[in-house]
């Protein structure tokens, strides 16, 4: 739980995949995106209804992140943002860095009331980033778009994929993200789904060392450094604070504490382009569909979600770990490796 939230009642974040259409060809794409839109995507009216239903979680409203594919491939993106904002939902947008992301679009999204935007940057120079994204020139477009977002006054988050291929470049990417002026830098630890199955994972020991590096840089000021699909970073922070004799009052005010317990299905919900309700975008198990069911009811009562919110039911070391309540491991990675969403996260080096 985090301040104002009981995760059995409401998620902190809802990711809505507006479309799987995208003009990039990223080697790690979870959605295995293609250039054209799917005919069974949620319509504009179905999207309005979904946003209205999310308000029913009650205050505080979940933060809704409009993602894809590329949400800019939806001609009704602006209308969806405006509808969500008017309904009282915090809205962020996660577009792709293509020719569609112009200065005019950034300013229009700002006028519509978006609270933040995120862009992906997977290399400190063009060669590694464009090699991963599959389209030459994407690095330059990303850096230019990032500066437009910052100049517009919209808070910017930069997302960076962590694999064996990108790990050695993270220090230089960190310098670039700082120079751009992003408020947050989120390191996404690879889940082997979609096209990402062909990329290399870190070893558990390499991951542990990197998480300690993240902790060291988290005190640099802006950008705030966070992790995605590596909830064991919370354990690392607790261990470091304890070793430094600062685990008391400082922990109560530490920004990471707000995320304690958040994991796939516990504080997180994902809506696919066709309306399927998942615990996250990287855990491809559906518990319902918003075209026929209330996302509020599915999140609160579906057996898949309730099981994921009970870490005492987890198998292996995740189930017996003393940090299971605040961490719980990546449920998506456990499923990708074992076929069991209640299994152990093999990327964690800690032995309970």
- Closest by alpha carbon to 309, among 10, 3, 57, 61? 10
Say what the pLDDT of residue 333 is.
Answer: 95
Q: pLDDT per residue over 73-124, tens digit each?
A: 999 999 999 999 999 999 999 999 999 999 999 999 999 999 999 999 999 9
Contacts of 37 by beta carbon, 8 Å cutoff, 6+ apart? 19, 20, 21, 73, 74
Q: What is the CB-side half-sphere exposure of residue 330 using CA atoms within 13 A? A: 26
**DSSP assignment of 119-187:** EE---SSHHHHHHHHSSTTHHHHHHHHHHHHHHHT--EEEEEEESTTTGGGHHHHHHHHHHHT-SEEEE
Coil, strand or helix at 227:
strand
What's the whole-model pTM score? 0.93
- Pick 345 or 218 by higher pLDDT: 345
Could you tell me if 189 and 347 are in contact, meaning their C-beta atoms sit under 8 angstroms apart? yes
* Tens-place pLDDT, residues 125-146: 999 998 888 789 999 999 999 9
pLDDT cut 90: percent of the chain above it: 78
Distance separating alpha carbons of residues 165 and 201, to the nearest angstrom: 9
Query: Alpha-carbon torsion 139, 217, 349, 3, what sign?
Result: negative
In contact, 61 and 89? CB cutoff 8 Å: yes
pLDDT of 194-247, one tens digit each? Answer: 554 567 889 999 999 999 999 998 877 779 999 999 999 999 999 998 888 876
Count of other CB atoms within 10 angstroms of residue 26: 22
Asked if residue 155 has pLDDT above 90, the reply is: yes
Query: What ranges do the domains of the chain cover?
Result: 13-314
CATH of domain 13-314: 3.20.20.70
């Amino acid at each position: 739980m985090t301040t104002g939230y009981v995760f059995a009642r409401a998620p902190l974040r809802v990711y809505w995949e507006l479309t799987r259409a995208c003009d990039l060809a990223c080697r790690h794409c979870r959605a295995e995106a293609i250039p054209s839109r799917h005919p069974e995507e949620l319509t504009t009216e179905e999207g309005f209804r979904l946003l209205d239903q999310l308000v029913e979680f009650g205050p505080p409203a979940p933060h809704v992140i409009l993602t894809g594919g590329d949400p800019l491939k939806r001609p009704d993106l602006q209308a969806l943002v405006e509808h969500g904002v008017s309904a009282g939902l915090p809205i962020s947008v996660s577009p792709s860095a293509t020719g569609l992301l112009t200065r005019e679009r950034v300013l229009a999204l700002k006028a519509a009331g978006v609270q933040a935007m995120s862009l992906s940057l997977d290399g400190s120079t063009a060669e590694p980033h464009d090699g991963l994204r599959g389209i030459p020139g994407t690095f330059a477009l990303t850096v230019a778009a990032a500066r437009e977002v910052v100049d517009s006054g919209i808070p910017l988050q930069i997302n960076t994929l962590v694999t064996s291929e990108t790990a050695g470049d993270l220090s230089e990417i960190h310098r670039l993200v700082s120079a751009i002026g992003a408020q947050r830098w989120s390191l996404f630890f690879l889940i082997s789904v979609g096209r990402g199955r062909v990329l290399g994972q870190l070893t558990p020991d390499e991951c542990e060392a990197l998480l300690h590096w993240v902790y060291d840089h988290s005190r640099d000021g802006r950008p705030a450094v966070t992790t995605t699909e590596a909830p064991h970073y919370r354990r690392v922070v607790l261990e470091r604070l304890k070793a430094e004799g600062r685990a008391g009052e400082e922990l109560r005010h530490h920004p990471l504490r707000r995320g304690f317990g958040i994991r796939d299905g516990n504080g997180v919900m994902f809506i696919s382009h066709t309306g399927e309700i998942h615990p996250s975008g990287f855990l491809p198990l559906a518990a319902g569909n918003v075209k026929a069911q209330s996302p509020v009811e599915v999140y609160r009562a579906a057996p898949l979600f309730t099981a994921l919110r009970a870490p005492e039911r987890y198998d292996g070391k995740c189930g017996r770990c003393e940090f299971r309540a605040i961490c719980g491991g990546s449920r998506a990675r456990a499923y990708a490796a074992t076929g069991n969403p209640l299994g152990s996260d093999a990327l964690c080096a800690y032995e309970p």
